[in-house]
Amino acid sequence: MAAKEDLYTKVTPRRQRQNRPGTFKHGSNLDVLLSMGFPKTRALKALVSTGGRSVQAACDWLFSHVDDPFLDDPLPREYVLYLRPSGPLLHQLSHFWQQSRITCGKNKAHNIFPHITLCQFFMCADGKVEALCEALQSTVAQWRGRFPSPLPLELYTSSNFIGLFVEEQVAEVLKAFAADFSTEAATKADVHVEPHKKQLHVTLAYHFQPDHLPSLEKLAKGVDVSMGCDWLAVLFSRDIRFASHETLRVMYPYTPQNEDELELVPGDFIFMSPVEQNSTSEGWVYGTSLSTGLSGLLPENYISRADECDTWVFHGSHSFLSCASPSGSGAAVGGACDGLLDSRLLEDRSPGDPPSLNVICQPMQVLRVNSQPRLPKRTLFVCRHGERMDVVFGKHWLSQCFDAKGRYMRTNLNMPPSLPVRSGGYRDYDKDGPITVFGSTQARLVGEALLESNTVIDFIYSSPSLRCVQTAHNILKGLQQDGKLKIKVEPGLFEWTKWVSGTSLPAWIPPADLAGANLSVDATYRPHIPVSKLTVSESYDTYISRSFQVTREILSDCKNMGNNVLIVAHASSLEACTRQMQGLTPQNSKDFVQVVRKIPYLGFCACEEQGDTGVWQLVDPPILPLTHGPNHSFNWRETLLQD
């Protein structure tokens, strides 16, 4: 077999810019696919790439990869054998995974679920996977009754690593099991497996920031390693082409505008090689889709980082305690595992547990026995305002729309038919502009989507900027709550004052005047941070602290009075009002600005409280994203009246 390095040189993704466009056993599945007319190499690749779950899954994979330039390449997949905990110990480790991510952010350990590595990644041709799974099944059967239980684990910490190490003598026993599997794999499947020679351990955290060590160490000491555990021998595979790539998750749909662009479907995964990014434009990256195998350019702000194991394929697991294999993937494991994942694995899966094992199918539903109904979680929604008049029509829109006496008249259909009268005169609109007609439509669409998703908004807060108040009002219209739910105008939610031009803050319309202009505003609300407390050109630290303070106080006020709070403010608010609520440290100002510039009009996020802990976590919003394109001004005289 060729060396791994040689194979990697052959599988660098090629830029194909012209291409746009019941459980069975393995043998039975293959026979069905062959009878349908699929070539054997393709049928085997589809079965292995879907974990052999069913003929239908394999067919779906084949149809989605019809334009995959690597579809007929005889590339092996890479496999790995892990010991994975289950039972009470898994609950302990899953809790650590979740809390460490909330408290300190993601570190390298989060890329893969809790496990003990038994061998190095090894290659296996598609036609030998069935025999490989049989080798694992027979090896585990030979070791039942001999496998050490419980495994003695000892906590170890250093400046950049935290883990649970297996006691040395017991580790040698586990290595002997791995050696036996290696022998069986060579005999049955002609596959070379290299057992892990280093100290066996469960990695808890590594490559984390030095100042996170005390928090992570404290959490690690809370893991009770004496808890019961049935260690499972679990086999996974990954696509060899993307072993060194970054794994990304598609967040928003994208329809290609050019031939070299990649279509994006939410939930898909993208493999991105750093080498491929050298020639891309700013804001765009080059990647390959997991679901189609196609490659192309895609907008960077449509994707987010995923965990490495999110795209791995599960090929079955075996318990050392019970005679029956606890779980299996079905076809790909050739009868060694011929059912769904063991109910024990499903019951043991907690909210902090890693993503589902069968990654190409829809996420597995979590089954819990005798579970108690949970109280609704408190949720904070943060939303950016709608499209701005001064951005669409430029800084000089006032001179286009107001005459010398200050009377307003719109000059474009996207301008509001009327505007609230300002006590300081229309010039105050210069720093406190309204939203466009389309901005109102955007906001109403968001409100309608919230209504359709049965999302109840109990409280709504807004920045004092007119564009934010108008956006909040139109969201309430879409929710059919305008006039019923009142907007609390909170100056503490205004954006970073350093971004305001000139030497003074905007002269905002007072809440009483906003209410008088038929906006659904609570004129009696007393803000947490009044306008008098805001300063011009405040420091970044002051802005971040202010946003965190006012968000905490808002949530404290609303506690026990309703579950859902909506804040309508600025692009910066989505980051500033949620990051520290998650227990994360603020980003530096440069990184903060890079995040903010990617947030569009009506950008929307959701943050849930984790129990009654005061710690919050970002989750998927209950509504779809809102995307729209530019529509330039059209002058029929200049365009159509030509000589």
List Cβ neighbours of 643 (8 Å cut-off, separation of 6 or more).
none
Catalytic residue among 385, 388, 444, 473: 385
Pairing state between β 295-299 and 284-289 = antiparallel
d(CA 474, CA 491): 20
Catalytic residue among 42, 110, 384, 473: 384
Both tokens assigned to 591: 């990184």
Burial of 45 (0-12, 13-18, 19+ CB in 10 A): buried
215-235 exposure pattern, b = at least 16 Cβ within 10 A, e = fewer = bbeebbeebebeeebbbbbbb
| Rg, the chain, Cα only | 29
**Side chain identity at residue 343, one-letter code:** S
d(CA 60, CA 362): 12
Both tokens assigned to 12: 């660098």
Residues linked to residue 272 through DSSP beta bridges, in sequence order: 246
Q: Which residue is it, tokens 């909040």?
A: 472
Q: Which residue is it, tokens 């021998």?
A: 233
For 503, other C-beta atoms within 10 Å of its C-beta total 7
d(CA 556, CA 593): 28
End-to-end CA distance of the chain: 72
Pairing state between β 459-462 and 201-206 = unpaired
Three-class DSSP category at 492: helix
List Cβ neighbours of 35 (8 Å cut-off, separation of 6 or more).
none
d(CA 605, CA 608): 10
d(CA 318, CA 364): 19
Indicate if 385 belongs to the active site: yes
Closest CA to 453 of 445, 443, 442: 445
Strands (E), 407-533: 459-462, 487-489
Pairing state between β 295-299 and 303-305 = unpaired
Q: Which residue is it, tokens 């105008």?
A: 489
637 dihedral zone (left: phi>0; alpha: psi -120 to 50; beta)? alpha
List Cβ neighbours of 100 (8 Å cut-off, separation of 6 or more).
107, 110, 204, 205, 215, 216, 219
d(CA 634, CA 613): 55
d(CA 104, CA 337): 38
Both tokens assigned to 238: 């990954």
Three-class DSSP category at 110: helix
Burial of 574 (0-12, 13-18, 19+ CB in 10 A): buried
Indicate if 318 belongs to the active site: no
Catalytic residue among 101, 110, 570, 579: 570
Angle between helix 40-49 and 26-35 (nearest 10): 130
- Hey, what's the torsion of the CAs at 289, 295, 300, 301, to 10 degrees? -40
Indicate if 115 belongs to the active site: no
d(CA 328, CA 341): 6
d(CA 313, CA 242): 13
- Catalytic residue set: 384-385, 570
